[in-house]
Structure 1
């Protein structure tokens, strides 16, 4: 079977600044205090994903999951190592990513779809279905800047799932929105899985990972801690499997 994603010895470093202004930095430096500090969000991570596999990417907040997804999607580059992918990539890795706050929801659908490589004609064919899935109603012609975080996430996810992709990335897409929408998202992810597309699914929910994934990768402070079976991965994390509905609770931001 063909390889869909190949990550080889990937590391990504970020700089964390302790001060916001030049004056604050100058004062701190004069006192011998640290002005900034670098840290490894990912440290020598390697794995391969075969076409059609459904991967549950798990780990505590700050373990590097979102950084890894951004590298796979190509919106970031690793400082060392290589990330190779095969085919078109779609998915939602950040609420409201690619949206212009001064454009309406309808206009942002075309903008976001273009980012994913969809033509205008393809977007027009799918427009009604995208709007119906998003469920924002009359607000579709309102500026996205006035949307709640849940409405923005619904619109972003609605566009992403209508892209004819080979690889689908989902980063905590179910951490926002009401229960009916979260259930609708899980049903769509089930469909993506059954279509044979490669799924890379970030989740803190043992129940949803068991439902849609056949393999678990665990990151621990940027290092690959586990790569194997779903049950074994959940046990490795000591996650209680008390979420049989496959829905998410918001557990905060990741890196």
Structure 2
């Protein structure tokens, strides 16, 4: 796919991704399956020739039912996974909120993990020092900031991970379902902050099963079904398309 749009910041071209699914969980099970001539593994085509281009400042929702490939696509864009075929090009600094607590070291405190995660996202020491108090205040876990994160709940992980990401100077923010974790007031605060980033011209790519939230937050929706794009257009129309199935 040839892209000439100078504002394109994410270009996904003919991307394919296949996973190996194992049907046995031990050497003994594999041995028995082989004797009985049963299949011990199979392949699953998560994405099959996907083309998506995202322009600077767009807020795009990746939609689809479980197994459609939307989270796989987001992980490919973030660089967590690599495509088996095709290419993905991005321009600008990316922060990904893809798995709660991903990148956190369990034996480090919340304070130490702020510095670790912020550095991974490209922030310098002085920049982290300058924003540290704001990161902690937004997370609302001041009392636990010097506690090892292995003692954190999933909600506390979320608060800290989200707070670090949104205080980084990013061009592209990737969010996968983690806003469903945590209490309602904090979810509302997160959504308000995401809208602020959107209004400031940042690019957003969101995966969520909360279709009403997606329709309010995003301008555009890309619907995937069985690893293929079946709709790409207005977010409200994308939600209607998915619900009409």
TM-score, normalization by structure 1: 0.91
- C-alpha displacement of 1:173: 2.4
Matched, 1:118 2:123: yes
Matched, 1:198 2:211: no
In structure 1, the residue matched to 2:16 is 11
Selected match of 1:104 from 89, 106, 109: 109
Matched, 1:183 2:213: no
In structure 2, what is the Cα distance between the partners aligned to 1:117 and 1:201?
A: 21
- C-alpha displacement of 1:21: 1.8
SS of corresponding position for 1:170: strand
The alignment covers a number of residue pairs equal to 239
Question: What is the Cα-based RMSD across aligned positions, in Å?
Answer: 1.2
In structure 2, what is the Cα distance between the partners aligned to 1:153 and 1:24?
A: 38
- C-alpha displacement of 1:97: 0.5
Matched, 1:159 2:164: yes
In structure 2, the residue matched to 1:249 is none
In structure 2, what is the Cα distance between the partners aligned to 1:152 and 1:15?
A: 30
Deviation track 1:35-81 (CA, whole Å, cap 9, x = no partner) reads 11111111110011111111011111221111111111112110000
TM-score, normalization by structure 2: 0.94
Q: How does 1:81-96 map to 2 (within 5 A)?
A: 81-96=86-101
On the 8 A contact 1:91/1:161 being kept in 2, the answer is no
SS of corresponding position for 1:189: helix
Deviation track 1:218-240 (CA, whole Å, cap 9, x = no partner) reads 1112111110111210110117x
Matched, 1:213 2:218: yes
Structure 1 residues not aligned, in runs of 5+: 240-255
In structure 2, the residue matched to 1:237 is 242
Structure 2 residues not aligned, in runs of 5+: 1-5
Matched, 1:22 2:27: yes
In structure 2, what is the Cα distance between the partners aligned to 1:10 and 1:234?
A: 24
In structure 2, what is the Cα distance between the partners aligned to 1:17 and 1:73?
A: 26
